Amino acid sequence: MIDNLKKILNEDQDPKAIEKITAKLENLLMSNEEIGYIAVQKKPAVTILPESIVVTNKRIILCKPKNLGLSMEFIDYDWDDIGACFVKEGIFGSDFTFSTKSELTHTVDYLPKNQARKLYTFAKEQLDL
């Protein structure tokens, strides 16, 4: 599966983090669902347990490590439920925020700027379909 993702591994993502996430996602993806982009959090000092956000052609999946990285929590939202998405660039990285039509808001902070831009572009393309 990592071979299929080489096209997105050019914005400073940690290949080991991507491999770990994709291995866990293999059993969660629906039929005809394809990963469009994966952004991995990178905090200014040391990022021990980075959060990730995965966008597919069907949904947004938030990946949050739990129990010191021994388990992972996945929260997903179908594109039909997403109302808007935003990127806010700061000094140490970018925040990617999306809101649902039921007015829930989720933010993943400290994303590298290039990753946040790619994530935003893919998300906007999906919202415009």
Report how many domains make up the chain: 1
Q: Does 2 have pLDDT greater than 60?
A: no
Angstrom distance (rounded) from CA 17 to CA 52: 9
Q: Partners of 60 in the beta sheet?
A: 55, 77
pLDDT, tens digit, for every residue of 61-111? 999 999 988 889 999 999 999 999 999 999 999 999 999 999 999 999 999
Assign 40 a pLDDT band (cuts: 50, 70, 90).
Answer: very high
Q: What is the CATH number of the domain that holds 41?
A: 2.30.29.30
Q: Going by C-beta distance under 8 Å and a sequence separation of 6 or more, which residues neighbour residue 115?
A: 11, 12, 13, 37, 39, 40, 94
> Which domain does 96 fall in, by range?
2-127
Q: What is the mean pLDDT of the chain?
A: 90
Say what the pLDDT of residue 129 is.
Answer: 83
Say what the pLDDT of residue 46 is.
Answer: 84
Taking the C-alpha atoms of 106, 111, 117 and 120 in order, what is their torsion angle to the nearest 10 degrees?
-20
